[in-house]
Amino acid sequence: MEVYIDSTVENFEEKGKEWEKLLLSLCELTVREELKTAEINEEDLEELEERLEVSVLVTDNKGIREINQKHRGIDSPTDVLSFPMYEGKEELLREIEYEENVPLGDIVISLDKVKEQAKEYGHSERREFGYLLVHGLLHLFGYDHMEETEKEVMRKREEELLNKLSLTRD
């Protein structure tokens, strides 16, 4: 899997390799676990994983507000935005037969919101960053939280994935 990471904030660079390692681990884990639910044999799973791409932009509240305004018409900062290339796993799996490199989509995370929400929820910035990343990745696979039942399914899946890397609530 190819993960493209970009940042518009210096603070992210201070987190160094630890956060990059976390980001890569969560991307790989989430993709592998989601593809497993599609009942793909192990050989095809590995080949598919190698062809997938995701882009992650870490920005600040100003940056994410501009993106939110431009793409969603909402003039306020948010914690995470996801821009999936496919409607969900089924469409992804249909399209993957025809594409050599398969972009899942783009994720944008506000580092300002990571810090704010970590304080608000009483856990580490690392955990909050991981949560927002997994949340964004699940959107790329078609998860949503508009309806209460969808929200319950998505929250349960987020916690399952975060627990696999010991990113529990402190």
Q: What is the pLDDT of residue 88?
A: 80
Residue 98 has pLDDT above 80, yes or no: no
* pLDDT range class, residue 42, cuts 50, 70, 90: confident
Average pLDDT over residues 40-61: 86
Q: What domains lie within the chain, and their CATH numbers?
A: 2-164 (3.40.390.30)
Q: What is the CA radius of gyration of the chain?
A: 16
Average pLDDT over residues 111-119: 95
Residue 89 has pLDDT above 90, yes or no: no
Compute the distance between CA of residue 2 and CA of residue 15 in angstroms, rounded to an integer.
Answer: 21
Average pLDDT over residues 134-145: 95
Residue 11 has pLDDT above 70, yes or no: no
To 5 degrees, how large is the angle CA 33–CA 81–CA 60?
A: 120
Q: What is the pLDDT of residue 3?
A: 95
**11-20, 125-134, 159-168, range with the lowest pLDDT:** 11-20
Q: What is the pLDDT of residue 16?
A: 67
Pairing of strands 80-84, 2-7: unpaired
